Amino acid sequence: MRLLLAFVRANPWRSLIMASALLLAGIVEGIGLAAMLPLLSFAIDSQAAAPAAKHSGFNYFVTNALAQLGIEPTIGVLLVIVVIGILLKNGLLLFIRKWIGYTIAEFTTRLRLELLQALLNTRWEYFLHQRIGNLANAMATETLRAADAYVNGVTMISVVIQSIVYATVALLVSWHATLVCVMVGLAIGYLSHGLIQMARQAGKRQTRLLQSLLARLTDTLQSVKPLKAMARENLADAVLAAETAQLNRALRKEVFSREILKAVQEPLTSIVIAIGVYVSLVYWNLPLAKVIVLVLLLSKMLNSMGRIQNLYHKVAVCESAYWSLQKTIRQAEREREVVSGNRIPTLEQSIRLDRISFAYGEQQVFRGLSLTVPGGLLTTLIGPSGVGKTTIIDLITGLLRPQGGEVFIDNAALAQIDLKAWRRLIGYVPQETMLFHDTVLNNVTLGDPELGEADATYALRAAGAWDFVTRLEQGMYTDVGERGSKLSGGQRQRIMIARALAHRPRLLILDEATSALDPETARSICDTLCSLRGQLTVLAISHQTTLVDSADRVYRLQDGEATAVDKQVLADAI
């Protein structure tokens, strides 16, 4: 019930429209069913008995209501009422199903967009503790299962309304027979409670296992090349196979509980109907026409109650995915990145880190670190792994905030600057090559409508990639394969550099970006970077001699401090 209330709160107007249409459809169907009793009385009773039937019980109620409307309750009129009721009901149900379909599509889209926006607006530290496979599972599997819970929940509401209509008309025909059937239906529902609980537990287990399985699968596929190169793929296969087997067992429990539920419903319904017919004819001496209508109504009611149980079973299986998805969204929203500055950034003079202190938990990285990156020049950071070179870049880009000291951009504190506007002035090239399974052009422009072929050409030339791109079969329109697998390591890295240059940034950051390049290509890249002096500021992390030789300023990071060093002495040491 909590899940259905959540759906209603998320879509109040759509829910109201659907409920109103469902209620109207139920009323229309009830009118059609109500017309069946006098119709059958006319058809079954003898001509002598028919007038008496007209003035007895529910027959009299229906025929009198028609008479009040100026309608003669003949067989033809009653048949028309039944047919019109069926047509109107199905027309309304068609509208409802279409409306439900549109609502589900909108609901699923909104869930995905809500998750995506929450994730993209989080602080960088949030992603340091997340498994990408879990987030991908939330975006794909959990949104689909949540949509399944929604559609089954809405359908269940429609069936509940139908059941109420059947029960209402049946009460007017024979209240004692109807009460007995309602009690039997509720008893069947109570007895099936254990199966529903089994399904709910199986659904929760499926949610947990799908998260783990897809996270491991993502990790494995990202590392499949070294695994295969070392013939170690069997280790990953064993783990994935074990989790898949656990998922299979959870699915079996779901199927078992669902099929058991279905298996007991039909025979129990048949038994109840058979007993009801016998009692009605033998002990209550009800007219045959009334018994036929009762059988029709009560069988519909019991079948609807059975459908309610089946739909509730499906909701129970899928609801854990919805709550898991909501948990992920709430966690991401709590980690939302706070952007308070509104000053328009410029980069003409320098980037200055003033007495920066920073730690990852208990691990202290910097204590009072200070350095200056001159505007329009090339600055290189060197030092052993783990001394905080990448952390400096994250502080400059605003992905991390210092716990002491401040970062200044042209003497303006980064905390006062519009962070989004500042990041739009940055071109960033990570050490890892992250190319999409798309064309060279789209990998360079990232699909930005403001960037075209001219921008891509400029960026590819600046990155030293133009020559090899023009030799590709379709030039810039060549597909690079999954993660750029159709290109060499150096070619992939140059496409990444071109991506960073395409929007003509004011600051270009290279985090070991030339590490995969051969010396000649690295030298060519350095020549290109040197030619950009005065046009943009370049900050690079590298141990390569070419970047050290080309740099205007070099800092060595060690023991939480940055020391400017003599390039010639350093180059000789390298």
Looking up residue 135, the CATH number of its domain turns out to be 1.20.1560.10
Q: What is the pLDDT of residue 51?
A: 43
pTM, two decimal places: 0.71
Per-residue pLDDT reduced to its tens digit, 351-361: 999 999 998 88
Q: Are residues 390 and 452 in the same domain?
A: yes
Res. 328: pLDDT tops 80: yes
User: CB 146: neighbour CB atoms within 10 A?
Assistant: 24
Residue 547 lies in a domain: yes
- Report CA-CA distances (Å) from 303 to 55, 259, 407: 31, 16, 69
For the chain, give the percent of residues with pLDDT over 70.
81
Q: Are residues 302 and 372 in the same domain?
A: no
Res. 331: pLDDT tops 60: yes
Among all chains, which residue has been given the structure tokens 């949104």? Answer: 143
Range in 243-247, 262-266, 470-474 with the lowest mean pLDDT:
262-266
Q: Are residues 449 and 568 in the same domain?
A: yes
Range in 111-125, 142-156, 290-304, 325-339 with the lowest mean pLDDT:
290-304
Among all chains, which residue has been given the structure tokens 């208990």? Answer: 362
Res. 48: pLDDT tops 50: no
Q: Are residues 175 and 324 in the same domain?
A: yes
Q: What is the pLDDT of residue 449?
A: 86
Residue 342 lies in a domain: no
Per-residue pLDDT reduced to its tens digit, 174-226: 777 778 777 877 777 777 777 778 888 888 888 888 888 888 777 777 766 66
Residue 344 lies in a domain: no
Residue 384 lies in a domain: yes
Q: What is the pLDDT of residue 407?
A: 92
Compute the distance between CA of residue 272 and CA of residue 281 in angstroms, rounded to an integer: 14
Q: Write a three-state SS string for 490-505.
A: HHHHHHHHHHHHCCCC
Among all chains, which residue has been given the structure tokens 């001394």? Answer: 387
Residue 198 lies in a domain: yes
Q: Are residues 302 and 361 in the same domain?
A: no
Looking up residue 531, the CATH number of its domain turns out to be 3.40.50.300
Select from 292, 307, 334 the last residue of a domain: 334
Select from 308, 334, 360 the last residue of a domain: 334
- Is the pLDDT higher at 408 or at 482? 408
Residue 439 DSSP SS3: strand
Residue 37 lies in a domain: yes
Range in 7-16, 204-213, 386-395, 441-450 with the lowest mean pLDDT:
7-16
Select from 334, 362, 392 the last residue of a domain: 334
Per-residue pLDDT reduced to its tens digit, 405-415: 999 998 889 98
Q: Are residues 317 and 420 in the same domain?
A: no
Q: Are residues 284 and 367 in the same domain?
A: no
Read off the pLDDT of each residue in 376-383 and give the average, rounded to a whole number.
87
User: CB 102: neighbour CB atoms within 10 A?
Assistant: 11
Q: Are residues 395 and 285 in the same domain?
A: no
Q: Are residues 295 and 251 in the same domain?
A: yes
Q: Are residues 376 and 494 in the same domain?
A: yes
Count: domains in the chain: 2
Looking at every residue in the chain, the average pLDDT score rounds to 78
Residue 345 lies in a domain: no
Compute the distance between CA of residue 510 and CA of residue 528 in angstroms, rounded to an integer: 13
Res. 262: pLDDT tops 50: yes
Per-residue pLDDT reduced to its tens digit, 113-140: 888 888 888 888 888 777 888 888 888 8
Tokens linked to 117 = 């926006």
Tokens linked to 480 = 């690079």
Read off the pLDDT of each residue in 154-170 and give the average, rounded to a whole number.
78
For residue 230, the enclosing domain spans 2-334
Tokens linked to 183 = 């009690």
Strand pairing category for 537-541 and 378-382: parallel
Q: Are residues 304 and 221 in the same domain?
A: yes
Per-residue pLDDT reduced to its tens digit, 447-478: 888 888 899 998 888 887 888 888 888 888 99
Q: Are residues 323 and 408 in the same domain?
A: no
Residue 340 lies in a domain: no
Going by C-alpha positions, the residue among 29, 315, 20 that lies closest to residue 167 is: 29
